[in-house]
Amino acid sequence: MNNLEKMQGILTGGKADALLLTSQVSRHYAACYDVAEGVAVVGREKSFYFTDSRYIEVAQNELKGFTVLETNREHTYPARINAALEELGAKTLGIEEAYLTHSEYLHYEETLHAQLVPCQKEVSAFRQIKEDWEIDYMVKAQEITDQTFDEMCTLLKPGMTEKEVAAELIYRLLKNGADGLSFDPIVVSGPNTSKPHGVPGDRKLEYGDFVTMDFGCTVSGYCSDMTRTVALGFVSEEMSQVYETVLRAQETAIAMTKAGVTGQAVDGTARKIIADAGYGAFFGHGYGHSVGLEIHEAPNCNASNDQPLAAGVVCSAEPGIYLPGKFGVRIEDVVVVTEDGCRVLTKSPKNLMIL
């Protein structure tokens, strides 16, 4: 069953007669190709894709299983969608409510000749468990990310600014074969490493700094994600202790990750190790999130997920300790959940590296 057929399967339950895919990620998933703009209407037996003149040639060449039509002033999106609904005999239209703004929802409610039915849960559910071919793309993205980290370790030196390090990361990810970035890289140094999602600035790297780099890239739309914290020149005893605590928490949680274990339990395993070491108050975020066509997907490995993980879920493993005004440490890998454990996609070393 291909991805479009999975989407069509939602319609067999009778919740909606057709689906309107407006988010880039769901359109990409259904079509197995990323067209920057447009909307898709998925019917039980026939599906449509509408986009404007900037993307119509690509869409016509690449989108299999869709009737591809151009939108313009004469043939607007609502007009195209309504014509498709009439052809499909659709009276109810499933929507992606999580991706629509209030204004967009009101526009569709006013202009479309069908009752709008929330279907986000059903549309997003398919992406939670990855197919082998999806994991292959993520492996390739991670290989590029690992290669880039290896190169960065030869470049980092005192005097570079955080912005310069971020620029090198971006350049090397693309040079090494990435299609794009999973997200804007997080590069922080020294006391800035206590900010989990700090923004690269003009601070210059110094000897005795921790440098945290959180970055990833995409291959055919699928993301990689990794974080490494390295040191320049030397570390204090406290820095070493915090690093080893984070590493032990991560490795222990990875070791117990498998199908049937809840995200809550995985998170709790890492959190207990950090708390027992006296740093519980300094680990504020969740242990991990799923990764795929989006950098943050469901299900999560955090305290709020009491549901068992399934084989095929791809999740980050990223505990951290952040001491305000002093320093922070985060170590992140991506793993594929299996029936009897998990497969770690990230191959970069995790021992404390002093450059």
Q: Indicate whether 34 pLDDT > 90.
A: no
Q: Indicate whether 38 pLDDT > 90.
A: yes
Average pLDDT for 9-37: 93
Task: For residue range 288-325, list pLDDT tens digits in order.
Answer: 999 999 999 999 999 999 999 999 999 999 999 999 99
Q: Which tokens sit at 201?
A: 């600035």
Ordered alpha helix ranges (H), 181-322: 237-255, 263-276
Chain mean pLDDT for the chain: 97
* pLDDT > 70: percent of the chain: 100
The closest of 234, 211, 215, 233 to 224, measured between CA atoms, is 215
Q: Which tokens sit at 342?
A: 């998990």
* pLDDT > 90: percent of the chain: 98
Q: Which residues pair with 199 in a beta bridge?
A: none
Q: Which tokens sit at 326?
A: 């002093």
| Confidence band of 174 (pLDDT split at 50, 70, 90) | very high
197: helix, coil or strand? Answer: coil
Average pLDDT for 22-42: 94
Task: For residue range 224-262, list pLDDT tens digits in order.
Answer: 999 999 999 999 999 999 999 999 999 999 999 999 999
Q: Which residues pair with 334 in a beta bridge?
A: 316
* Residue 283 and residue 319 in contact, taking contact as beta carbons nearer than 8 Å: yes
- 186-189 sheet: strands from edge to edge: 186-189, 210-215, 226-231
The predicted structure's pLDDT at residue 85:
98
Rounded distance between C-alpha atoms, residue 47 and residue 41, angstroms: 6
The predicted structure's pLDDT at residue 101:
96
Is residue 185 reached through a cis peptide bond, with omega within 30 degrees of 0 on the bond before it?
no
Q: Please state which of the four CATH numbers 3.40.50.720, 3.40.630.10, 3.90.1010.10, 3.90.230.10 is assigned to the domain occupying 132-344.
A: 3.90.230.10
CA dihedral 240, 244, 246, 249 (to 10 degrees): -160
Q: Which tokens sit at 289?
A: 């999130």
Rounded distance between C-alpha atoms, residue 49 and residue 251, angstroms: 45
Task: For residue range 104-138, list pLDDT tens digits in order.
Answer: 999 999 999 999 999 999 999 999 999 999 999 99
Q: CA torsion sign, 3 to 4 to 10 to 12?
A: negative
Rounded distance between C-alpha atoms, residue 261 and residue 174, angstroms: 36
Q: Indicate whether 1 pLDDT > 80.
A: no
The predicted structure's pLDDT at residue 313:
98
For 251, phi and psi rounded to 5 degrees?
-65, -35
Where, residue-wise, is CATH 3.40.350.10 in the chain?
Answer: 3-127
Where, residue-wise, is CATH 3.90.230.10 in the chain?
Answer: 132-344
DSSP symbol at 301: E
The closest of 270, 272, 159, 172 to 207, measured between CA atoms, is 159
| Confidence band of 210 (pLDDT split at 50, 70, 90) | very high
3-127: CATH architecture: 3-Layer(aba) Sandwich (3.40)
Task: For residue range 177-195, list pLDDT tens digits in order.
Answer: 999 999 999 999 999 999 9
Rounded distance between C-alpha atoms, residue 123 and residue 182, angstroms: 22
* Residue 65 and residue 47 in contact, taking contact as beta carbons nearer than 8 Å: yes
